[in-house]
Protein backbone atom coordinates (compact mmCIF):
# COMPACT_ATOMS: atom_id res chain seq x y z
CA UNK A 1 0.00 0.00 0.00
CA UNK A 2 1.43 3.37 -1.08
CA UNK A 3 1.02 5.85 1.80
CA UNK A 4 0.27 9.39 0.59
CA UNK A 5 0.22 12.85 2.21
CA UNK A 6 -1.58 15.77 0.53
CA UNK A 7 -0.39 19.32 1.27
CA UNK A 8 -2.65 22.04 -0.15
CA UNK A 9 -4.31 25.07 1.42
CA UNK A 10 -7.49 24.62 -0.66
CA UNK A 11 -9.95 22.30 1.05
CA UNK A 12 -11.78 21.42 -2.18
CA UNK A 13 -8.50 20.62 -3.96
CA UNK A 14 -7.43 18.29 -1.12
CA UNK A 15 -10.78 16.54 -1.15
CA UNK A 16 -10.83 16.15 -4.94
CA UNK A 17 -7.35 14.63 -5.06
CA UNK A 18 -8.14 12.26 -2.20
CA UNK A 19 -11.26 11.01 -3.98
CA UNK A 20 -9.26 10.29 -7.15
CA UNK A 21 -6.54 8.47 -5.23
CA UNK A 22 -8.78 6.46 -2.91
CA UNK A 23 -11.49 5.47 -5.40
CA UNK A 24 -9.71 5.20 -8.74
CA UNK A 25 -6.04 4.35 -8.05
CA UNK A 26 -5.27 0.90 -6.66
CA UNK A 27 -3.38 0.25 -3.43
CA UNK A 28 -3.08 3.88 -2.32
CA UNK A 29 -3.87 5.13 1.18
CA UNK A 30 -4.16 8.84 1.96
CA UNK A 31 -2.73 8.99 5.49
CA UNK A 32 -3.03 12.72 6.10
CA UNK A 33 -3.52 16.31 4.97
CA UNK A 34 -1.76 19.60 5.64
CA UNK A 35 -2.56 23.16 4.65
CA UNK A 36 0.81 24.87 4.54
CA UNK A 37 4.53 24.88 5.21
CA UNK A 38 4.45 24.51 9.00
CA UNK A 39 1.73 21.86 9.14
CA UNK A 40 3.26 20.09 6.15
CA UNK A 41 6.64 19.73 7.83
CA UNK A 42 4.95 18.43 10.98
CA UNK A 43 2.93 15.84 9.06
CA UNK A 44 5.91 14.65 7.02
CA UNK A 45 7.91 14.11 10.22
CA UNK A 46 5.05 12.38 12.03
CA UNK A 47 3.56 10.25 9.26
CA UNK A 48 6.63 9.43 7.10
CA UNK A 49 4.69 9.20 3.82
CA UNK A 50 6.02 7.41 0.74
CA UNK A 51 4.60 10.12 -1.52
CA UNK A 52 3.87 13.81 -0.92
CA UNK A 53 1.49 15.64 -3.26
CA UNK A 54 2.46 19.28 -2.74
CA UNK A 55 0.82 22.54 -3.81
CA UNK A 56 3.09 25.51 -4.59
CA UNK A 57 1.23 28.60 -3.36
CA UNK A 58 -0.09 28.06 0.18
CA UNK A 59 -1.27 29.97 3.22
CA UNK A 60 2.10 30.50 4.94
CA UNK A 61 4.60 30.25 2.08
CA UNK A 62 5.32 28.06 -0.92
CA UNK A 63 6.00 24.41 -1.50
CA UNK A 64 9.59 25.41 -2.24
CA UNK A 65 9.85 27.01 1.21
CA UNK A 66 8.77 23.71 2.73
CA UNK A 67 11.34 21.73 0.75
CA UNK A 68 14.12 24.13 1.75
CA UNK A 69 13.52 23.09 5.37
CA UNK A 70 14.07 19.38 4.67
CA UNK A 71 17.62 18.04 4.86
CA UNK A 72 16.98 14.70 3.17
CA UNK A 73 13.93 13.55 1.25
CA UNK A 74 12.60 10.12 2.20
CA UNK A 75 9.57 10.36 -0.06
CA UNK A 76 8.61 10.83 -3.70
CA UNK A 77 7.61 14.41 -4.44
CA UNK A 78 4.75 15.29 -6.80
CA UNK A 79 3.76 18.92 -7.30
CA UNK A 80 0.06 19.60 -7.87
CA UNK A 81 -0.64 23.17 -8.92
CA UNK A 82 -2.73 25.40 -11.16
CA UNK A 83 0.39 27.17 -12.44
CA UNK A 84 2.63 25.63 -15.09
CA UNK A 85 5.34 28.32 -14.91
CA UNK A 86 6.94 26.61 -11.91
CA UNK A 87 7.68 23.31 -13.67
CA UNK A 88 11.40 23.91 -14.31
CA UNK A 89 11.99 25.04 -10.73
CA UNK A 90 10.02 22.05 -9.44
CA UNK A 91 12.26 19.57 -11.20
CA UNK A 92 15.33 21.34 -9.81
CA UNK A 93 13.95 20.21 -6.45
CA UNK A 94 13.88 16.64 -7.84
CA UNK A 95 10.13 16.50 -8.23
CA UNK A 96 9.06 13.07 -9.43
CA UNK A 97 6.16 14.57 -11.36
CA UNK A 98 4.27 17.81 -11.91
CA UNK A 99 0.48 17.65 -12.24
CA UNK A 100 -1.75 20.55 -13.23
CA UNK A 101 -5.10 21.26 -11.57
CA UNK A 102 -7.70 20.02 -12.18
CA UNK A 103 -5.84 16.73 -11.95
CA UNK A 104 -6.42 14.35 -14.85
CA UNK A 105 -7.13 10.81 -13.61
CA UNK A 106 -5.07 9.10 -16.31
CA UNK A 107 -2.06 11.33 -15.61
CA UNK A 108 -2.43 10.60 -11.90
CA UNK A 109 -2.52 6.84 -12.51
CA UNK A 110 0.59 7.03 -14.72
CA UNK A 111 2.37 9.03 -12.02
CA UNK A 112 1.59 6.48 -9.30
CA UNK A 113 2.64 3.54 -11.49
CA UNK A 114 5.97 5.22 -12.28
CA UNK A 115 6.52 5.78 -8.56
CA UNK A 116 5.92 2.10 -7.89
CA UNK A 117 8.32 1.13 -10.68
CA UNK A 118 11.01 3.44 -9.35
CA UNK A 119 10.99 1.58 -6.01
CA UNK A 120 11.89 -1.79 -7.52
CA UNK A 121 15.60 -1.40 -6.86
CA UNK A 122 15.32 0.22 -3.44
CA UNK A 123 12.93 -1.95 -1.48
CA UNK A 124 13.58 -4.26 1.44
CA UNK A 125 13.84 -7.39 -0.70
CA UNK A 126 16.61 -5.76 -2.77
CA UNK A 127 18.49 -4.83 0.40
CA UNK A 128 18.12 -8.38 1.75
CA UNK A 129 19.27 -9.85 -1.58
CA UNK A 130 22.39 -7.68 -1.67
CA UNK A 131 23.35 -8.50 1.92
CA UNK A 132 22.83 -12.22 1.28
CA UNK A 133 25.07 -12.02 -1.80
CA UNK A 134 27.81 -10.43 0.27
CA UNK A 135 27.65 -13.09 2.98
CA UNK A 136 27.85 -15.84 0.40
CA UNK A 137 30.96 -14.31 -1.14
CA UNK A 138 29.54 -13.71 -4.61
CA UNK A 139 30.66 -10.79 -6.80
CA UNK A 140 27.94 -8.21 -6.16
CA UNK A 141 26.59 -5.46 -8.30
CA UNK A 142 24.39 -2.45 -7.67
CA UNK A 143 21.56 -1.26 -9.90
CA UNK A 144 21.26 2.52 -10.23
CA UNK A 145 18.05 3.80 -11.88
CA UNK A 146 18.23 6.60 -14.44
CA UNK A 147 15.74 8.32 -16.74
CA UNK A 148 16.26 5.84 -19.56
CA UNK A 149 16.54 2.65 -17.52
CA UNK A 150 19.36 1.76 -15.15
CA UNK A 151 23.14 1.36 -14.80
CA UNK A 152 24.65 -1.80 -13.32
CA UNK A 153 27.96 -1.28 -11.54
CA UNK A 154 30.33 -3.43 -9.50
CA UNK A 155 30.21 -2.39 -5.84
CA UNK A 156 34.00 -2.63 -5.59
CA UNK A 157 34.24 0.14 -8.25
CA UNK A 158 32.51 2.67 -5.96
CA UNK A 159 35.00 4.95 -4.21
CA UNK A 160 32.51 7.16 -2.40
CA UNK A 161 28.97 8.53 -2.48
CA UNK A 162 27.91 12.09 -1.78
CA UNK A 163 24.33 13.07 -0.94
CA UNK A 164 22.51 16.34 -1.49
CA UNK A 165 18.87 16.29 -0.40
CA UNK A 166 17.33 13.50 -2.51
CA UNK A 167 20.23 13.18 -4.97
CA UNK A 168 23.19 10.82 -4.55
CA UNK A 169 26.37 11.11 -6.63
CA UNK A 170 28.46 7.93 -7.05
CA UNK A 171 32.20 8.48 -7.67
CA UNK A 172 33.70 5.47 -9.41
CA UNK A 173 37.15 4.18 -10.17
CA UNK A 174 38.33 5.48 -13.52
CA UNK A 175 36.97 8.96 -12.88
CA UNK A 176 33.35 8.24 -13.80
CA UNK A 177 30.42 9.47 -11.74
CA UNK A 178 26.70 8.73 -11.75
CA UNK A 179 23.96 10.93 -10.25
CA UNK A 180 20.85 9.15 -8.96
CA UNK A 181 17.59 10.67 -7.72
CA UNK A 182 17.54 8.70 -4.47
CA UNK A 183 18.68 9.59 -0.96
CA UNK A 184 22.07 8.71 0.47
CA UNK A 185 20.32 6.94 3.35
CA UNK A 186 18.89 4.32 0.98
CA UNK A 187 22.33 3.45 -0.36
CA UNK A 188 23.83 3.47 3.12
CA UNK A 189 21.40 0.63 3.95
CA UNK A 190 22.37 -1.24 0.79
CA UNK A 191 26.12 -0.90 1.23
CA UNK A 192 26.69 -1.01 4.98
CA UNK A 193 27.66 -4.72 4.85
CA UNK A 194 30.13 -4.10 2.02
CA UNK A 195 32.73 -2.13 4.03
CA UNK A 196 31.09 1.23 3.39
CA UNK A 197 30.63 3.75 6.18
CA UNK A 198 28.76 7.03 6.44
CA UNK A 199 31.47 9.23 7.93
CA UNK A 200 29.62 12.53 7.59
CA UNK A 201 26.01 13.54 6.99
CA UNK A 202 26.54 13.83 3.24
CA UNK A 203 29.39 11.33 2.71
CA UNK A 204 29.42 7.53 2.42
CA UNK A 205 32.85 6.02 1.70
CA UNK A 206 34.31 2.69 0.63
CA UNK A 207 36.79 1.93 3.43
CA UNK A 208 38.92 -0.06 0.98
CA UNK A 209 39.46 3.18 -0.97
CA UNK A 210 40.72 5.27 1.98
CA UNK A 211 44.37 6.21 1.43
CA UNK A 212 45.03 8.51 4.37
CA UNK A 213 43.48 9.80 7.60
CA UNK A 214 44.30 13.35 8.76
CA UNK A 215 43.80 14.09 12.45
CA UNK A 216 41.45 16.85 13.61
CA UNK A 217 38.27 17.34 15.64
CA UNK A 218 36.69 14.68 13.48
CA UNK A 219 39.45 14.46 10.98
CA UNK A 220 39.53 14.07 7.21
CA UNK A 221 39.97 11.21 4.78
CA UNK A 222 41.97 11.29 1.58
CA UNK A 223 40.28 8.96 -0.87
CA UNK A 224 41.64 6.96 -3.79
CA UNK A 225 40.37 9.59 -6.26
CA UNK A 226 42.19 12.38 -4.40
CA UNK A 227 39.04 13.78 -2.78
CA UNK A 228 39.12 15.06 0.80
CA UNK A 229 36.13 13.86 2.85
CA UNK A 230 35.30 15.30 6.30
CA UNK A 231 34.65 13.01 9.27
CA UNK A 232 32.12 13.97 11.94
CA UNK A 233 33.29 13.90 15.56
CA UNK A 234 30.74 11.27 16.56
CA UNK A 235 31.94 8.92 13.79
CA UNK A 236 35.66 9.30 14.46
CA UNK A 237 36.20 6.45 16.94
CA UNK A 238 34.13 3.97 14.95
CA UNK A 239 35.97 4.89 11.76
CA UNK A 240 39.43 4.54 13.27
CA UNK A 241 38.47 1.19 14.75
CA UNK A 242 37.36 -0.08 11.33
CA UNK A 243 40.42 1.27 9.54
CA UNK A 244 42.76 -0.43 12.02
CA UNK A 245 40.90 -3.75 11.94
Dihedral sign for Cα atoms in the order 12, 17, 20, 21: negative
Mean pLDDT of 36-56: 95
b/e string for 38-50 if b means 16 or more Cβ within 10 A? Answer: bbbbebbeebebb
Mean pLDDT of 178-182: 84
What length is written for the chain? 245
| DSSP state letters, 46-99 | HH--SEEEE-SEETTEEHHHHHHT-SS--SEEEEEES-GGGHHHHHHTT-SEEE
Neighbours of 84 (CB within 10 A): 10
Residue 234 CA: distances (Å) to CA of 165, 237, 239: 21, 7, 10
The pLDDT score that the predictor gives to residue 138 is: 47
Given a cut of 50, is residue 163 above it in pLDDT? yes
CA distance 181 to 34: 25
What digits encode the pLDDT tens for the residues 124-154? 444 454 555 544 444 477 878 765 567 888 9
Given a cut of 80, is residue 32 above it in pLDDT? yes
The pLDDT score that the predictor gives to residue 144 is: 80
Mean pLDDT of 164-168: 84
The pLDDT score that the predictor gives to residue 185 is: 86
Mean pLDDT computed over every residue of the chain: 86
- Residue 104 per-residue DSSP state: P
What digits encode the pLDDT tens for the residues 103-118? 999 999 999 988 887 6
Given a cut of 80, is residue 72 above it in pLDDT? no
CA distance 232 to 230: 7
- What domains lie within the chain, and their CATH numbers? 2-118 (3.40.50.2300), 137-244 (2.40.50.1020)
What digits encode the pLDDT tens for the residues 76-93? 899 999 887 777 677 667
The pLDDT score that the predictor gives to residue 245 is: 66
Amino acid sequence: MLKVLIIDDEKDARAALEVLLQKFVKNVEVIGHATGVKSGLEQIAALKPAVVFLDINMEDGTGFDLLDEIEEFNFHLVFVTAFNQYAIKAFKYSAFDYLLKPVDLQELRKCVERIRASKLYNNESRIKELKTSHKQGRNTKLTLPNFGGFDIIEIKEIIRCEGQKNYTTFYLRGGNKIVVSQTLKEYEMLLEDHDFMRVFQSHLVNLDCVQKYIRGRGGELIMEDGATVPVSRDKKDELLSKLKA
